[in-house]
Structure 1
């Protein structure tokens, strides 16, 4: 009996290079997950949309980390799968499916990247979707549930491992950055409706803006120096940042999930 894909067809709009920020993160601080795998690691581009371009780009970028990486584009729309299969090659495949992440021979995914997918679902559906995917991960596996703007200049994602969510990453194009909290409209579904007083993610965004304002005098040395000073202030104020200057220089900040998780005041 053929299992029915878990999920619904979404709008599927995408653009080339739109997911470069999260791909850079996967090929950077998360690359150990691919290198540690004994067998060729499987990376899933879940819900790649109307064009398979993001799966092709993901394959090309991760081959730098491991030449034998296997990228599988998974879509719930048969027409999109057919389009993707026209671009299949060694290490790059496309198949029909949803959050159940169908892979051959019971294999598990090292990474599942699901971008701009759950944003189109109800918030109540996020947890069950995460749970479904987590069961399909390897022991070192990671689900990346994210959202970005149309050109990929602002991007956010939650990292979820076998135990649950572990971090939130925010990534900005620094040139022209006005207020860091402007990224709020691109928060993942699990957080976008929680940006209200009393919620930790609201406190996090407020702290970002205050640190950014406090670091204004660094702007004479360039926007990157101002951002580095902003991140340093946040760290010194006790925010549990999980990265450092090498990532901050890219306009990227990763904070522990416990600091922004829905449901109450930050400790």
Structure 2
């Protein structure tokens, strides 16, 4: 059972991140969370708690997460956690009912277990072999039915890739992009989360996936005059003939595509880098 009582004070677990943050940087991830995890948020007995882990030098992403989750569940609460005390002090003036900022890391030192932990641009600086332990630790802090979403995006949120995990481990990988700025799907490779970024080499599933996605994108070039969205939708439809795409055209139109983790999981060889 996830812990629900007070967590004793201790040194936070983790390493200070660069802290780079911008308003609306995580909007694509938040939109996906609200759609995918919305039913669990609505079913929650009492106000559901979400964690913005490693929100950075400014509190914008935590503030925005609260606003977006409250469109799904009006009494949702968000706790921003930062390992750097000065960042917590900067964020404190932005607290409001349902939004708090605390000093903490992967131990998630909260009095009750969260239904959601969002860790964006946190694990990118870690070694690949440190990721499974971090995932396990964070998933162990989730409430029953909880979700961990961990991934990486560029500075203004145009390109984003994330992994969704439950207590049993990783479930899905989602690729999301602002299509007007995308030359080809493999441009998203630079935003692969740490568990996959060193695996984008021949012989690895994620490399094959991005290769096939680029081929489908090229084949869909005749739809480009109708807009990047139409081209993306056609490309994903072609990709779905070879890969187990987990969503449908309604989500593709947002510049998203989700596949099961098992389809892209590392092949097992030691990674480079």
Using the size of structure 1 for normalisation, the TM-score is: 0.96
Contact 2:37 2:147 in 1 (8 A): no
**Partners of 1:109 and 1:58 in 2: how far apart?**
14
Deviations 1:245-266 (A, max 9, x none): 111001000000000001259x
1:57 alignment counterpart: 64
Contact 2:62 2:79 in 1 (8 A): yes
**Partners of 1:228 and 1:173 in 2: how far apart?**
13
What does 1:1-267 correspond to in 2, within 5 Å?
A: 2-104=9-111, 107-237=112-242, 239-263=243-267
Tell me the number of residue pairs that the alignment of Structure 1 and Structure 2 aligns: 262
- List 4+ stretches of structure 1 deviating above 3 A: none
**Partners of 2:144 and 2:9 in 1: how far apart?**
27
Contact 1:198 1:264 in 2 (8 A): no
Deviations 1:110-168 (A, max 9, x none): 11000001001111111110010011112211111110001100011000110000010
Deviations 1:51-92 (A, max 9, x none): 111100111111111111010000101111111111101000
CA change 1:264–1:213 in 2 (3 A) is farther
Deviations 1:166-187 (A, max 9, x none): 0100001111321110110110
**Partners of 2:220 and 2:213 in 1: how far apart?**
11
Deviations 1:195-245 (A, max 9, x none): 0000010011011101111111112222111111111111122x1111111
**Partners of 1:112 and 1:69 in 2: how far apart?**
13
**Partners of 1:121 and 1:184 in 2: how far apart?**
18
CA change 1:176–1:47 in 2 (3 A) is closer
Contact 2:221 2:231 in 1 (8 A): yes
Instruction: Report the alpha carbon displacement of residue 38 of structure 1 after superposing the two structures with TM.
Output: 1.1
Q: CA RMSD in A?
A: 1.2
